[in-house]
């Protein structure tokens, strides 16, 4: 990962299996870059989501497809960190990036659907100490405080809600076809 030398650098991280990557990933990436004024956005592709069954596509295929879909985007970079950090969890990923980019302000992008199980993520309460959690709308996921454990336990300042159109696409929907 190339270090950036600016003082007030802003880095977004979109983590996941990208099984497969799609225009929804690209759409929220572009929105995040614009609205948060990010200097760069990392697609952190993981081998496996610990809360889901194994991926459909091999990791090399997902990396290749991700690079292809982002090849015209100057601020989006595709990386695979699992082997470097010896982990697939978000906390370890953010810790690693923070060590490499000490002065950077980190933003971790998720869809509203991820709020449901966020409290099951390893070290989930510590994630906001490393990065702001940026939440994008998803179909059928209204953000209600009493519905999500994470919203009851985290501070309002830890979360940023992005108001954008909902992209009705997901990797699981694509795999069904």
Whether residue 36 has pLDDT greater than 70: yes
Cα–Cα distances (Å) from 66 to 14, 78, 83, 148, 151, in that order, read 12, 7, 18, 30, 31
pLDDT-based confidence at residue 171 (cuts at 50, 70, 90): low
pLDDT-based confidence at residue 100 (cuts at 50, 70, 90): very high
Q: Could you tell me which residues come within 8 angstroms of residue 66 by beta carbon, excluding any fewer than 6 positions away? A: 18, 21, 25, 43, 45, 78
Whether residue 177 has pLDDT greater than 60: no
Lowest model confidence (mean pLDDT) among 17-26, 27-36, 91-100, 140-149: 140-149
Q: Per-residue pLDDT tens for 125-170?
A: 999 999 999 998 876 655 655 567 888 888 889 999 998 766 666 5
Mean pLDDT throughout 62-72?
96
Residue 102 CA, chain-centre distance (Å), reads 19
Paired with 13 in beta bridges are 42, 108
Mean pLDDT throughout 26-52?
93
Helix (H, G, I), strand (E, B) or coil at 109: strand
- Distance, CA of 121 to CA of 32 (rounded, Å): 23
């Amino acid at each position: 990962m190339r270090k950036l030398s600016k003082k007030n650098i802003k880095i977004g991280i979109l983590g996941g299996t990208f099984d497969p990557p799609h225009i929804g990933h690209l759409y929220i990436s572009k929105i995040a870059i614009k609205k948060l004024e990010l200097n760069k956005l990392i697609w952190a592709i993981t081998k496996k989501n610990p809360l889901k069954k194994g991926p459909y596509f091999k990791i090399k295929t997902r990396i290749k497809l991700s690079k292809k879909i982002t090849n015209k985007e100057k601020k989006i970079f595709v990386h695979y960190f699992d082997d470097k950090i010896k982990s697939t969890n978000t906390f370890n990923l953010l810790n690693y990036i923070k060590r490499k980019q000490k002065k950077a302000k980190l933003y971790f992008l998720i869809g509203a659907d991820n709020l449901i199980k966020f409290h099951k993520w390893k070290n989930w309460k510590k994630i906001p100490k490393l990065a702001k959690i940026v939440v994008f709308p998803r179909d059928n996921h209204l953000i209600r405080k009493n519905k999500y454990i994470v919203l009851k336990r985290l501070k309002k300042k830890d979360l940023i809600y992005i108001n954008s159109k909902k992209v009705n696409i997901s990797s699981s929907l694509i795999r069904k076809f």
